[in-house]
DNA sequence: TAATGTACATACTAAAAAGTTACTAATGTT
DNA sequence: AACATTAGTAACTTTTTAGTATGTACATTA
């Protein structure tokens, strides 16, 4: 999800542009639990490919929602954590989540 | 944004699938103010094409977030309104919106 | 008689997002 | 020497989403 150069029409538009995309919400949500390494994220976000994980993390980083810390070791070690701005989004995701939970229970979705 | 048949991985995933897409958030948000006709929506959602407006409204309708009421008149008249489920999303959008507002002000985005 | 208004539909194209497959670096371990 | 480990990359294809351009119905109004 590219969001540079595009015209932002309103706050809602801007907000959705920053958290849109197939995996951003899930990534932010699991990072709510604390710092995670790349491989841990990969296991947590079931179904994501390394390409999409890296790509999405880079977008989140550029967007200052996630912080990336590289350890100069071999084998490599990279840790990801929410930034302050990223943490501010958690209540919002939580609200969507509880709405979704409700909906899924009502609709009996497996 | 198609979301049938796909695997839903968690509540967050499900939630984002239901409100994802370029215009859904904005449409729900303007409908918060009350019932709107097709043409009014078109004017409210600046930049949307009739194709995308219709398509998105149909998705929202199929998803039971928006209700569509057709008057059998000529020229045609169709009204759109939030359903109960749709209204339940408003606080959530409001939260994203206020986060976005904050961000935009901090970053001095026009 | 022709234009106007309204809510679309249809066919097609372009752009964006996501997926697939294969590959790398450098050290420690067997 | 071969192998495992970790966090990715690169090139390419497919799928999905969005945009463009044009057309339709039909009562009312000019």
Distance from CA of A13 to the nearest CA of B (A): 6
Residues B23 and B45: beta-carbon distance below 8 Å: yes
CA–CA dist A43, B94 (Å, integer): 32
**Taking a C-beta distance cutoff of 8 angstroms, is the pair A36, A80 a contact?**
yes
Q: Does residue B77 lie within 7 Å of nucleic acid chain D, judged by its CB?
A: no
User: Quick one: tokens of A103?
Assistant: 């909906």
- Long-range contacts at B81-85 (CB < 8 A, ≥ 24 apart): B81/B31, B81/B34, B81/B35, B81/B36, B82/B28, B82/B31, B82/B32, B85/A103
pLDDT of residue B6: 77
pLDDT for position A4: 46
Q: Is the pLDDT of residue A11 over 90?
A: yes
CATH of domain A11-106: 1.10.10.10
Beta carbons within 8 Å of A51's beta carbon, 6+ residues apart: none
B62 contacts chain A (CB < 8 A): no
Q: Which of A9, A25, A95 sits opposite B92 (nearest CB)?
A: A95
Q: Residue A107: its pLDDT value, please?
A: 87
pLDDT at A110: 73
Q: What is the pLDDT of residue A15?
A: 96
> Residue B87: its pLDDT value, please?
98
Residue A43 φ then ψ, to 5°:
-75, -30
A43 touches strand D (CB under 7 A): no
Q: What is the pLDDT of residue B28?
A: 98
Question: How many Å apart are CA B64 and CA B85, to the nearest integer?
Answer: 7
Q: Check whether A40 has a pLDDT greater than 50.
A: yes
| Distance measured from the CA of protein residue B107 to the C1' of nucleotide C25, in angstroms | 39
pLDDT at A85: 97
pLDDT at B2: 47
Closest residue by Cα to residue B60 from B73, B47, B74, B45: B45
DSSP B46: T
CB atoms within 10 A of CB B27: 26
Residue B3: predicted pLDDT: 46
Asked which of A70-74, A79-83, B54-58 is least confident by mean pLDDT, the reply is A70-74
Closest CA–CA distance from residue B54 to any residue of chain A (Å):
18
Q: Which amino acid residue lies closest to nucleotide C27, measuring CA to C1'?
A: A74
Which has the higher per-residue pLDDT, A4 or A10? A10
Domain edges within chain B: 11-106
Confidence class for position A5, pLDDT limits 50, 70, 90: very low
What pLDDT is recorded for position B25? 97
- What average pLDDT does the segment A50-64 reach? 97
More confident residue, A52 or A4: A52
Per-residue pLDDT band for A91 (boundaries 50, 70, 90) equals very high
Q: Which residues of chain B have pLDDT under 50?
A: 1-5
């Amino acid at each position: 999800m590219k969001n540079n150069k595009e015209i932002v029409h309103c706050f809602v538009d801007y907000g959705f542009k920053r958290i849109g995309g197939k995996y951003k919400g899930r990534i932010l949500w699991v990072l709510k639990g604390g710092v995670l390494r790349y491989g841990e994220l990969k296991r947590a976000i079931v179904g994501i490919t390394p390409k999409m994980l890296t790509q999405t993390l880079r977008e989140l980083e550029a967007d200052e929602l996630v912080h990336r810390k590289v350890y100069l070791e071999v084998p490599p070690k990279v840790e990801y954590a929410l930034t302050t701005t990223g943490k501010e989004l958690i209540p919002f995701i939580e609200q969507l989540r509880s709405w979704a939970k409700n909906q899924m229970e009502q609709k009996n979705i497996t």
